[in-house]
């Protein structure tokens, strides 16, 4: 009788991956930290893409909105007026300080232009954030609609019957942004027409 070969030894179980071995449950703080990092990266990317005009305008707008700007002008105006008022000094711009008025007017023109450029940049950033919020809200709405449909299919599969809820039927429908926009515009027009009719009735 021939001897049978020994059975092969069982293969060793695979070692757990380092990720699963050191895995820790994620907390709300971890998720919040990741979201803050993602938004910080977006901010840094938008700052890096600024043009030279946007950088100069932002610097000028920040400087003009500081107390240092106010004190510098207060000291310059006091020195200018005092130099041209004291009788012992040569008056290069006597009262009513026409040259000072011209300088201040030119400064106001350039400062308003820089401030408008800075505001336009902030508006572009704000519009981009609004678009991001809109896209995230639309994705969340689509996910919620899909989950409602899946839960409805599971409940029908398990023969879990409840009273018909018309709100669930409405919420299961996909939300169309253009339809919502038309409804909002119609509501505003109706409210404006109602206010106008109320004023005419008085």
Q: 36-75 pLDDT, tens per residue?
A: 887 777 777 777 777 888 888 888 888 988 999 999 999 9
- Cβ neighbors of 146 (< 8 A, separation 6 or more) are none
Report if pTM > 0.75: no
Report DSSP state, residue 137: H
Count of helix runs (H) and strand runs (E) in the chain: 7, 0
- Tell me the pLDDT band of 79, cut-offs 50, 70 and 90: very high
**Mean pLDDT over each residue of the chain, to the nearest integer:** 78
Tell me the C-alpha distance between 49 and 51, whole Å: 7
Cα distance between residue 55 and residue 47, in whole Å: 9
pLDDT value, residue 51: 81
Instruction: Kindly report, residue by residue over 151-161, the tens digit of the pLDDT.
Output: 878 877 887 76
* 8 A C-beta contact, residue 93 and residue 101: no
In whole angstroms, give the CA distance from residue 31 to residue 136. Answer: 16
Packing angle of the helix pair 52-64, 98-157 (nearest 10 deg):
110
**In this predicted model, what pLDDT tens digit does every residue of 92-125 receive, in sequence order?**
888 888 999 999 999 999 999 999 988 888 888 8
Q: With H, G, I as helix, E, B as strand and everything else as coil, classify residue 7.
A: coil
Task: Say how far apart CA 70 and CA 199 lie, in whole Å.
Answer: 47
Confidence of residue 1 (pLDDT cuts 50, 70, 90): very low
């Amino acid at each position: 009788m021939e001897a049978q070969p020994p059975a092969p030894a069982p293969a060793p179980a695979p070692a757990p991956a380092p990720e699963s071995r050191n895995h820790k449950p994620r907390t709300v703080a971890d998720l919040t930290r990741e979201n803050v990092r993602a938004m910080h990266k977006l901010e840094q990317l938008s700052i890096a893409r600024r043009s030279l005009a946007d950088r100069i305008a932002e610097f000028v707008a920040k400087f003009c909105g500081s107390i240092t700007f106010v004190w510098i002008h207060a000291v310059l105006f006091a020195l200018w007026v005092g130099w041209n008022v004291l009788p012992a000094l040569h008056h290069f711009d006597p009262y009513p300080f026409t040259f000072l008025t011209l300088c201040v007017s030119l400064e106001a023109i350039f400062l308003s232009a820089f401030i408008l450029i800075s505001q336009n940049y902030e508006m572009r950033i704000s519009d981009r954030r609004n678009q991001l919020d809109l896209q995230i809200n639309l994705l969340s709405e689509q996910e919620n609609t899909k989950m409602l449909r899946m839960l409805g299919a599971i409940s029908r599969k398990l023969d879990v019957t409840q009273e018909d809820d018309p709100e669930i039927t409405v919420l299961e429908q996909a939300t169309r942004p253009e339809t919502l926009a038309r409804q909002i515009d119609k509501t505003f027009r109706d409210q404006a027409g109602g206010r106008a009719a109320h004023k005419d009735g008085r």
